[in-house]
Amino acid sequence: MADLRTTVAGISFRNPLWLASGIWGESGNSLKGAWDAGAGGVVTKSIGSEPRMGYPNPTIETYDNWGMLNAMGLPNPGIDEYPQEIGVARDAGATVIGSVFGADADEFARLGERMAATGVVALELNLSCPHAKGLGSEIGQDPDQVREVVSAVKRAVRVPVIAKLTPNHYDVPLLAEAAEKAGADAISAINTVRAMAIDARLRRPVLAHGSGGLSGPAIKPVGLACVWQIFERVKIPIVGMGGIETADDVIEYLLAGARAVQVGTAVAFEGVGVFRRLGEELTRRLDALHVVQVADLVGAAHGAPAAP
């Protein structure tokens, strides 16, 4: 039987299927639930310095089987309250990755330090949140700021640091290079794709916030392209995500260069049972392909013969 274990930034995971940030991860019981359901790692909701209510509803729009649009507005209980939730998940034996967001490098570093102290195995920096200096833009849009944030966090913590990148940039690998130069231990990509919904009859945006982020099968090709390009330009490991629903989706991300993947929207569409199903499907699929271990597929589509 194929070995599903994988290693990212020196940490071993029982399988490459992680719970993506923002899904289920606000409460410790839910993180535990995803772990118990078979996830190889669980990423927390992005946690900030203060409790944050998020945007008013509607925060979500769904599209039959192909996507989901959300503008939750980073609701989270704040770093003072959150350690008790992580405690619940860690007590269950879960491999927890702590996601944090901040307005600048100092805030990221402070939060990273406190998150690391909860016993998470790694940090994921949510670099796709609005930043304080230029309203409406994202820290993660600017390679210089990515470098500043990652450097500051690296100085503050010992656990591996994963930089989560936005796809809403003309040259995503440039951001990955900035993170790598600053000492990031891994890249995760992609966050949601900027998008919006307008109701024709009401003549107004559907989401209370106006625009939001698209996830689900619709963005899989975008995610694959980003992972592929990042793999060609950096040496550090990549955690891929965007629209993963089947074992073949996982394999495609591995072939593009990911060492692990994250699953989010499929949890909303199918429930947390998606982890067990994907794990079983992946094992069968790898066996059928005579692949012995996940690592054998990582980046294997690169260097495939070009068309004559």
Partner 1 sequence: MRTITEVSERIVETPSTVTLRFRYTPAASPGQFVMIWLPGDDELPMSLSYTGEPKGVTIKAMGATTRAALSVQKGDLVGIRGPYGNHFDLTPRRILLVGGGSGTAVLAPAAEAAARAGSTVVAALGATTAAELLFVDRARAFSNRVEVATDDGTQGHHGYVTDVSQRLLREDSFDAVWTCGPEIMMRKVIAASEARHVPVYCSMERQMKCALGMCDACALGPYHVCSDGPVFPAERLTPLPEFGRTKRDSSGRRVPL
Catalytic residue numbers, as ranges: 129
Give me the least distance between CB of 220 and partner 1, in Å please: 18
Query: Quick one: which of 9, 174, 206, 300 contacts partner 1 (CB under 8 A)?
Result: 206
Among residues 90 and 259, whose Cβ is nearest to partner 1? 90
Q: Is 196 in the site for partner 1 (CB under 8 A)?
A: no
Closer Cβ to partner 1, 8 or 68, answer by number: 68
Within 13 Å of residue 224, how many CA atoms lie on the same side as its CB?
19
H or E, element range at 225: helix 220-233
**Among residues 181 and 209, whose Cβ is nearest to partner 1?**
209
Structure tokens at 226: 């980003």
Q: Which stretch binds partner 1 (CB under 8 A): 8-16, 20-28, 160-168, 219-227?
A: 20-28
Beta bridge partners of 43: 97
Which residue from 2, 4, 11, 23 is in contact with partner 1, where contact means CB under 8 A? 23
Q: Which of 12, 29, 65, 293 binds partner 1 (CB under 8 A)?
A: 29
Q: How far apart are CA 261 and CA 244, in angstroms?
A: 8
Handedness of CA 11, 4, 252, 301 (dihedral sign): positive
Is there binding between residue 221 and partner 1 (CB under 8 A)? no
The answer to whether 104 touches 132, Cβ cutoff 8 Å, is: yes
Name residues contacting partner 1, limited to 257-276 (CB under 8 A): 264-265, 267-269, 271
- Pick from 27, 49, 246, 283 the residue near partner 1 by CB under 8 A: 27
Q: How many CB atoms lie within 10 A of CB 290?
A: 8
Residue indicated by tokens 């509607």: 58
Q: Which is nearer to partner 1, 193 or 267 (CB)?
A: 267
- Between the two ends of the chain, the Cα-to-Cα distance in Å is 37
Of the candidate spans 17-25, 94-102, 186-194, 294-302, the one that interacts with partner 1 by CB under 8 A turns out to be: 17-25
d(CA 227, CA 233): 10
SS3 for 126-182, per residue? Answer: ECCCECCCCCCCEHHHCHHHHHHHHHHHHHHCCCCEEEEECCCCCCHHHHHHHHHHC
* Residue that the structure tokens 């406190």 belong to: 114
> Which CB atom, from 74 or from 184, has the smaller least distance to partner 1?
74
Q: Which stretch binds partner 1 (CB under 8 A): 18-26, 102-110, 140-148, 175-183?
A: 18-26
Rounded CA-CA distance 99/41 in Å is: 12
Least gap, CB of 59 to partner 1 (angstroms): 5
Of 213, 120, 203, 206, the closest CA to residue 166 belongs to 213
d(CA 31, CA 43): 8
The CB-of-93 to partner 1 minimum distance in angstroms stands at 15
Binding mask 30-69 for partner 1 (x = CB under 8 A): x-xx-----------x-----xxxx-xxxxxxxxx-----
Q: Can you give the binding site for partner 1, defined by CB under 8 A? A: 22-27, 29-30, 32-33, 45, 51-54, 56-64, 70, 72, 75-78, 81, 199, 201-202, 204, 206, 208, 264-265, 267-269, 271
